[in-house]
Amino acid sequence: MAKGKSSASKGKGKGGRSAFSGLSVIASAVLLFMVALPTFITLTVGLLPSLVAFIFDRSPGRTMARCVFGLNFSGVAPYILEIWMQPAQTVSGATQAVFQPLALSIMYGAAGLGWLLYLAMPPIVANVLNLSAQRRVSELRKKQRGLIKTWGDSLIKEVDRSGN
């Protein structure tokens, strides 16, 4: 009962945190919209793939969305910096800069790379783990061969007997 209660409170806490971070994002977006509209427009258009990824990625930890967001943001960051460097930040300037094909290609391409990274990484890790397991198995087999060489067949018999 207590356990159920604690897990419920845990779930509630997690949901609360998520709602809080969602609210803080919306609040930040509203604040940004009110204070720096050109930056808001650039971020909204540039981070569109990340937004989509965050919406569709329901996996725990949202690793795919994080992957896409990381590289997507790397692609958007230069344009944000470019806007911030201009003496007068205007909506038209920002819109013009964002909707250029090269800019969109860089921003969305970077998001795509993030997605590719997300796809490519697990097989690489699996291969590494498999290789390490194989090496361990061969080490153990070598050790067993050594034991048999020292103790003879009686070792196998004893192992079989104790196993039975």
Partner 1 sequence: MAEQAEDQEQDVSNGAATEPVMDAPGGGAPAPAEPEETSENDEATISAGGKSVEIGNFRVFLDLRMPEFDMGHCKAYSADNLRRDEGSAFALVTDPVLPTRHDHMTFLTGMHMAGQIDLIDYETAYWPPFGRKTMVLFYEKPAGGRVLAKQTKKLPIDEHDIATVVVEPLMNAMQAFGEKGLAHRNIRADNLFFADPMHEKVVLGDCASAPPGYDQPAVYETASRMGADPAGRGSGSIADDFYALGMTLAELGIGRQPLKKLNDQEILELKLSKGSFQAIASLEKLPLVLIEPVRGLLCDDPEERWGLAELNAWLDGRRTKPVQSNTEKRAARSQNLAGRDYYTCRSLAQGIAKNWSTALAPLRDSTVEIWLRRGLGDNDRAKALSEAMRQLQWAGADKRSAEDVLVARSILILDPTGPVRFKGFASMVDGLGFMLSYDVQHGRGPQRFADVIVRDIPSFWFSRQEGYSPEVQRQQQLYKNLRYYIQQQSAGYGYERCLYATVRNQHCLSPMVEEEYVVEIADLLPALEKAAETASEESWPVDRHIAAFIATRLEDDVEGQLMAMQNPSDEVEYSRAIISMLAIVQWRHGPDNLQNLSHWVARLMEPAIKVFHSKARRERVETEIPKLAKRGNLVELYNLINDEQERRKDQSEFVEAVAEYSEAESEVFDLESSGPARMELAEKVGQQAAAFASTMIALLTVSALFLMHIF
Residues that bind partner 1 (CB under 8 A): 59, 61, 63-64, 66-71, 73-74, 77-78, 81, 85, 114, 117-118, 120-130, 133, 136-137, 140-141, 143-144, 147-152, 154-155, 158-159, 162-163
Contact 72, 111 (CB under 8 A): yes
Report how far residue 66's alpha carbon sits from residue 53's, in angstroms, rounded to the nearest whole number: 8
Report how far residue 91's alpha carbon sits from residue 104's, in angstroms, rounded to the nearest whole number: 17
What single-letter DSSP state applies at residue 88? S
> Nearer to partner 1 by C-beta: 12 or 157?
157
Q: In whole angstroms, what separates CA 147 from the centre of its chain?
A: 46
> Nearer to partner 1 by C-beta: 99 or 151?
151
Contact 89, 83 (CB under 8 A): yes
CB of 93 to partner 1, least distance (A): 18
Report how far residue 125's alpha carbon sits from residue 47's, in angstroms, rounded to the nearest whole number: 28
Contact 73, 47 (CB under 8 A): yes
CB of 17 to partner 1, least distance (A): 18
CB of 90 to partner 1, least distance (A): 20
CB of 5 to partner 1, least distance (A): 29
CB of 1 to partner 1, least distance (A): 32
Q: Which two tokens stand for residue 58?
A: 């329901």
> Nearer to partner 1 by C-beta: 41 or 65?
65
> Nearer to partner 1 by C-beta: 32 or 77?
77
> Nearer to partner 1 by C-beta: 59 or 92?
59
